[in-house]
Structure 1
Amino acid sequence: MTSKFTELAIDCADPDSLARFWCSVLDYEVQESEDGFVAIGSPAVPEGKNRPGPVPPSLTFARVPEGKTVKNRLHIDVNATDREQDEEVRRLLDLGARRVDVGQTGEESWAILADPEGNEFCVLAGRHP
């Protein structure tokens, strides 16, 4: 028996706001919400329909008192499914992301952004359905 990756827990200052941002990025929906905690995940598949591929992990956001102070040790990679990378980067910037410099050379095929609370994530160049 092995383990299965089911969720990514993210500490943050404003779980509701950060959950809304990531719902917009990933086309997820809120699955659970209580004071200081929000869980989001892929929308339910209608009865009789199949979801291609594995079920993606959920994201949970929990309020913590301390703020982000150092570079992330883990980050999320996203891949646009219906547009090119530069279009997706513009969409994410419009949602509240910002560009960050973590020492990239300019030769990378990915773009590095940060969510509204400063958590870095990458937008990959290749499109995957």
Structure 2
Amino acid sequence: MTQTPTPATPVHWKVVVDAADPHAQADFWAAALRYVVEDNSALIGKLLGAGAVPAGLTVESHGRHAWRDLAAVRHPDDPYDEETGTGRGRRLLFQRVPEEKTVKNRLHLDLHPGEGRREEELARLEGLGARVLRRVQEPSGGWLVMADPEGNEFCLH
């Protein structure tokens, strides 16, 4: 008798972005993608109360406890762990690093706001602090190469 192989479980992932100010980056990208900033305050409060983490590892953000060096955003419709506030779906995690960004990203996001909405989305993103680096027009189509407030490149199609 031949056994049917068990289907492999998909690997859970998140995109991690180095940042000088993870909370500002999380706020920008939450607004840009219409995601939500994760709320880890219940977990942090529990850990602080138990003496498991020092207060110096936390800050106040949006009126609640947050990790000093980490902030994440998640898709509002995706599942998340209610005890930790950690998303279980589409997420971006911003982690504080000491060095500044100095070269072009090796990985970037492409934003697709929908047919005929690029200029409207451009104005909205610029209002959030993004800037246009260049306009690209090729036979296959056009897009904008943009930068977030810390200079990370992304494309607007």
The answer on whether the counterparts of 2:136 and 2:142 sit within 8 Å (CA) in structure 1 is no
Measured after TM superposition, the shift of residue 91 of structure 1 is: 0.8
Corresponding letter in the other structure for 1:8: V
- Distance in 1 (alpha carbons) for counterparts of 2:114 and 2:35: 14
* Residue of structure 2 aligned with 1:10, choices 17, 21, 31: 17
Measured after TM superposition, the shift of residue 22 of structure 1 is: 0.2
Corresponding letter in the other structure for 1:88: E
- Distance in 2 (alpha carbons) for counterparts of 1:105 and 1:29: 30
- Distance in 2 (alpha carbons) for counterparts of 1:105 and 1:82: 17
List runs of 5+ in structure 1 lacking aligned partners.
47-54, 125-129
Q: Does 2:96 correspond to 1:89?
A: no
Q: Give the TM-score, by structure 2 length.
A: 0.64
Please state whether the residue corresponding to 1:109 is helix, strand or coil: strand
Measured after TM superposition, the shift of residue 39 of structure 1 is: 1.2
Number of equivalences: 114
The answer on whether the counterparts of 1:5 and 1:57 sit within 8 Å (CA) in structure 2 is no
* Residue of structure 2 aligned with 1:73, choices 106, 109, 113: 106
* Residue of structure 1 aligned with 2:27, choices 13, 17, 20: 20
Q: Does 2:106 correspond to 1:99?
A: no
The answer on whether the counterparts of 1:40 and 1:59 sit within 8 Å (CA) in structure 2 is yes
List runs of 5+ in structure 2 lacking aligned partners.
1-7, 41-65, 80-87
Aligned sequence identity (%): 42
- Note closer, same or farther for the CA distance 1:45–1:2 as it changes in structure 2 (3 Å cut): closer
Q: Which runs of 4+ in 1 moved over 4 A?
A: none
Residue 60 of structure 1 corresponds to: 93
Q: Give the TM-score, by structure 1 length.
A: 0.77
